[in-house]
Amino acid sequence: MYDPIMAKSFSSYERKRLGCSALVVCFIIAFSICSSFDPHLYASSLIGEAVNIKLPIHMLIAGDNNSNPTVGSAPNRFVHANAMVRSPQVECRSDYYCEMEGDVRVNANSSTVFVVGPTNMNNSSSLIIKPYPRKHISDVKNWKVLMSTSDLAPRCTQTHTLPALLFSTGGYTGNHFHDFADLILPLFSTTFSFKTQIHFLATDYKPWWVSKFRALLSRLTAHQIVDIETQKMHVHCYGKMIVGLQFYRELVFAPSGGAHRMRNFRQFLRETYSLRKTRVGKKKKKKSKPRLMIISRKRTRVLTNEAEVSRLAVELGYEVISAEARLSTNLTKFAQLVNSCDMLVGVHGAGLTNMLFLPDRALLVQIVPFGGVDVYARLDFGNPAPAMNVKYLEYKIEVNESSLSRQYPSNHSVLRDPVSFQKKGWDEFKAVYLENQNVTIDIHRFKGTLAKALNLLHN
């Protein structure tokens, strides 16, 4: 069409050039509109802006608002490998804990978790991870978290709409302290917000451990726990996945909401094991006796005069029972027995983990063996006590109360300078002070500790 205004303003050559430019602009606009209705026109629309995956896998992903595992409480969508709607996101807070979201494929045959990115991805970062809080343990299987393209990753044989957790039941399982400190409490911290709608994939699978803690585990996942090593013929695919467990310190939650989480965890234990006694009430000295449980030990760190200690406690006004939890002990019944008590007494060791079952305002008396064990005693049981609303006292064994005083001459470094002896390494320290020491309490000195405990319970 001839336009006189255009003719006056532009030469013939300029009008032709302007017309071509207009056609190009119109084509771009039309193509953009079409692509907004058909996202499959571009490969980039399948994967989104894959900025996050360009970071090394060991780095935190900047701007990742889904790092908190509470995302599991929202509806979970499986992202199919050929229909990626979000860029893959990976956050590894340590070499024993990673969170990932996107196209995640678990290949048990190679012990690898593939996080699939775009076909033009030039980053194939990987991280070796032990899905267990204590990374230096040799009998925990290594897993690899690998950024990969779809053509290099194994094809899915089973896809799931729920998220998954991969963790190890190896390590120190079978030790009552480590069962709770390394696994049960971290499992609760990591997965409770998912409200049982999460798959548990266990590596280093121990069926007896799963059986022992089935009552607790069934309240964290509504699904059968999978022995992932039996799945070598399959590739399980997820939209969200966690490898490893959240771990802060032994029997302690992270400071952010730590006390609140511990209250929730203790309530979780009470509901699971039907623990009726929630708190210790004030005692009237003449009408009611506080119930004291002595945790017996038969192999190491034995309290050799336990009967004498028991008689002393009775004389002071306690009702006394003695008990020892073994691997075969019915955990529900033992937890209920502990919960019926007002006070727990025992030499430093795994049995004191049963403080978790005590009612609020109960009291723990830890007998600390001779030889610089104080740090470990406080770390394992003293520090966790306040968040559990459990009062705490220590009775430190002196050299004359230790069996070591009869095994070594008085001028030996084991007795004279335990701190310098510790420099020889953990294995030697453990062999002497933890595995080769029994204690015989000075009854007259211990009487003061029991009297102080009685006052704390009465008040």
What is the per-residue pLDDT across 443-453, written as a single tens digit (0 to 9) for each?
999 999 999 99
Work out the number of other CB atoms within 10 angstroms of the CB of residue 429: 19
Distances in Å between the alpha carbon of 65 and those of 97, 403, 439? Answer: 17, 56, 53
Closest CA to 326 of 113, 116, 176: 176
Structural contact between residues 349 and 375, judged by C-beta atoms closer than 8 angstroms? no
Domain(s) labelled CATH 3.40.50 in the chain stretch across: 279-458
d(CA 282, CA 276): 17
Length of the chain in terms of residues written:
459
The larger pLDDT score, comparing residue 35 to residue 338, is at 338
Residue 95 pLDDT grade (very low, low, confident, very high; cuts 50, 70, 90): confident
Tell me the DSSP string of 96-132.
Answer: TEEEEEEEEEEETTTTEEEEEE-TT-----EEEE-SS
Number of CB atoms found within 10 A of residue 451's CB? 12
Higher pLDDT, residue 162 or 282: 162
| Res 327: pLDDT | 76
Q: What's the rounded Cα separation, in Å, for the pair 322 and 314?
A: 12
Q: Over range 390-416, report the average pLDDT.
A: 97
pLDDT of residue 47: 24
In this predicted structure, what is the pLDDT of residue 326? Answer: 80
Residue 222 or 426, more confident:
222
**To the nearest 5 percent, what fractions of the chain are helix, strand and coil?**
40, 20, 40
pTM of the model: 0.81
CB-neighbour burial class of residue 447 (10 A; exposed 0-12, middle 13-18, buried 19+): middle
Token pair 């299987």 is found at 141
How far apart are the C-alpha atoms of 19 and 372, rounded to whole Å?
A: 89
CATH class of 279-458: alpha beta
Can you give the pLDDT at residue 257?
73
Cα 296 to Cα 288, 303, 361, 374, distances in angstroms: 25, 7, 23, 20
How many angstroms separate the most distant Cα atoms in the chain?
Answer: 117
Mean pLDDT of 78-83: 36
